Amino acid sequence: MRHLPLNMHDSYGGMRMAIYAAGLDVEVRSSPSLPGNMMGCYCEATRTILIDRRLPYVAKRCVLVHELVHWLHGDEQCGINETRTRMGTNPRKWVIDLFDSVYSGDS
């Protein structure tokens, strides 16, 4: 699995800068519009994330995190893997995982 050395509390712009600074093999681009209700997508063949340029920055940040989970697992499909991707971007799960990592081994 790939590694994601980002601070998930960063802004959308901060996360994009951190991706390039870390030299990750994924490119983030904006698109003037995406088909249907798509806000973003990931292509494994080109390792490119596209995000709809019309979205507000808060939404862009959420979409970027969601698509980065697809990149982490090397998949580009929603559907059967979407449950895993949604769990990976669920803020409550991130807090629980952080709590577990901080307090693991303590009784």
**pLDDT value of position 93:** 54
pLDDT tens readout for residues 16-60:
999 999 999 999 999 998 988 899 999 999 999 999 999 999 999
DSSP secondary structure letter of residue 6: -
**pLDDT value of position 15:** 92
In the block, tokens 């340029």 appear at 53
Query: What are the φ and ψ backbone dihedral angles of 42, each rounded to 5 degrees?
Result: -130, 135
Distance (Å, rounded) from C-alpha 47 to C-alpha 56?
A: 24
pLDDT tens readout for residues 68-95:
988 988 887 765 455 554 555 555 554 4
**pLDDT value of position 74:** 86
CATH of 12-103 given 3.30.2320, 3.40.1130, 3.30.2010, 3.30.720: 3.30.2010
Domain ranges in the chain? 12-103
Helical (H) or strand (E) element with 41: strand 40-43
Helical (H) or strand (E) element with 52: strand 48-52
